[in-house]
Amino acid sequence: MSLLPRTPVCFAILCVCLAALGCESWDLSAGRQAYDSGDYDAALETLEPLAKGGNSLARTYLALMYDEGSGVHQDPAEAAKWYLLAAEQGNAFAQYNLGVKYEKGDGLPQDYFESLRWYGAAASQGDALAQTNLGVMCEEGRGVDADPEQAARWYRSAAEQGHAYGQYRYAMLFERGLGVERSDQAALHWRRAAAEKGDALAQAALARHFAEGIGTEKDPAQAAEWFRRAAEQGNVGAQYELGRIHEEGLGAPRDESAAREWYAKSAAKGNALAQHRFGRMEERSKRYDRAAQWYSAAAEQGNPAAQYRLGQLYLLGRGVAADPDEAMQWRLRAAEQGYAQAQIEVAGAYESGRGAPRDLARAAEWRRRAAEQGNASAQYSLAEMYRRGHGVPRDNVQALMWLGLAAADANMRPAAEAAKRLRKSMSATEIEEAEGLAAEWMARRGSG
């Protein structure tokens, strides 16, 4: 698979090659003009004899025509043949395209080593496309041992020529500290350079710098602007983020209509986060059937929030036929991914016996999982199970530990009151042990 989008004919490169060689014949010029104007029959009639006669630029044009199916039947193998002939004559553009064909296995057997060889030949002549692709292969270890430092050198060569995707990839190395010293500021610099050239990936990445204050001050308005630019180019992630910005009023005015528009665009392209958010908007508008459709699309992709909401719709019979078993299955899938609210609901089902066989031990285990994530409600409920010995051995030390943690939430006054009552029935040693366990839990959570 190509590491860069399929690049159209780079006429500027070919023209430079012509000028450098000083050999642009009238026939070649006429062939080029015919190609440019879309008169492929005339282009073929003029260029094919020149290509067969050994003209490297004519061979490159002929290869492109077979690659695109322009005036001829599309034939990747025939294209590869002509690219090879031109590449062997030193044509950098042909060398780059031959590298792409070997990388993709398009018209030739896939061969990363050959791809590297031809990218290298074009890159050594200064071809920025080849330099970037070569950098990606060095970074990812395709056809060669992974070498981030070598990747960085090739990305830098392309970036300094102003190649937007090379700048984007170079920024990624600075962000991760691969092959270069980690630097959020350098990542910001190169992403901005690529973003200003219109690269949508770089625009979306630059927006996150401003949204999260990475290498710069937080600037929600700048984040919104760069997400907008990327979104308008069809970047699916940016479309989701722009929808969230308009829904929540982050750097732009709250605008439910705009949020719906951008969520819908992103959701239609399969973004699970957007599908879930769009489903939530539909649910709040009581369009339950549409909410169920979007939740289902996201849930099938593994989005736990959507799985939980879909389970709730099945439980309540909203937009779908009520089905307690289906509701439990979706809530379980969300719970197993660590979605705390689903874990609490699953625990409640096992404790009550509604939607699942009554099983207090399982109820306690699911409450523990939610409690370990810091959910105060689950911590309080788990404490009560320890205090009463429901599903777990009765243990006041564990009960007080979880009550103390739950009470740290200002909204959990009942937990603080229950802890106060429980302390009266415990020894000083037990209280000290519970407080020590709570402190250890807080330390683990803080270090994690």
Q: What is the 3-state secondary structure (H, E, C) of 343-387?
A: HHHHHHHHHHCCCCCCCHHHHHHHHHHHHHCCCHHHHHHHHHHHH
Amino acid of residue 385: M
Contact in structure between 214 and 188 (CB atoms under 8 Å): yes
Boundaries of every domain in the chain: 1-143, 165-269
Measured distance CA(84)–CA(270) in Å, rounded: 39
Q: Using CB atoms within 10 A of its CB, is residue 44 exposed (0-12), middle (13-18) or buried (19+)?
A: buried
pLDDT of residue 355: 86
Residue 396 φ/ψ, nearest 5 degrees: -70, -30
Which among 235, 217, 215 has a CA at the least distance from the CA of 227?
235
Measured distance CA(16)–CA(410) in Å, rounded: 70
pLDDT of residue 18: 46
Quote the tokens at residue 406: 């739950």
Amino acid of residue 131: Q
Quote the tokens at residue 220: 């929600």
Q: Given this chain, do its domains 1-143 and 165-269 carry the same CATH topology?
A: yes
What's the pTM value of the predicted model, to 2 decimals? 0.84
What contacts 24+ positions apart, CB below 8 Å, involve 179-187? 179/139, 179/147, 179/148, 179/149, 179/150, 179/151, 179/152, 180/148, 180/149, 180/152, 183/215, 184/209, 184/214, 184/215, 185/215, 185/216, 187/214, 187/215
| CATH dotted code for 1-143 | 1.25.40.10
Tokens 């190169």 locate to: 190
Question: Would you tell me which CATH number, out of the four given (3.30.70.260, 3.60.15.10, 3.30.300.30, 1.25.40.10), belongs to the domain 165-269?
Answer: 1.25.40.10
Quote the tokens at residue 417: 């009151």
| DSSP-derived secondary structure letter, 75 | -
Amino acid of residue 414: P
Query: Please, which residues have CB within 8 angstroms of residue 361's CB and are 6 or more apart in sequence?
Result: 391, 392
How many residues are there in the chain? Answer: 448
pLDDT of residue 311: 97
Segments of the chain scoring below 50 in pLDDT: 1-13, 16, 18-24
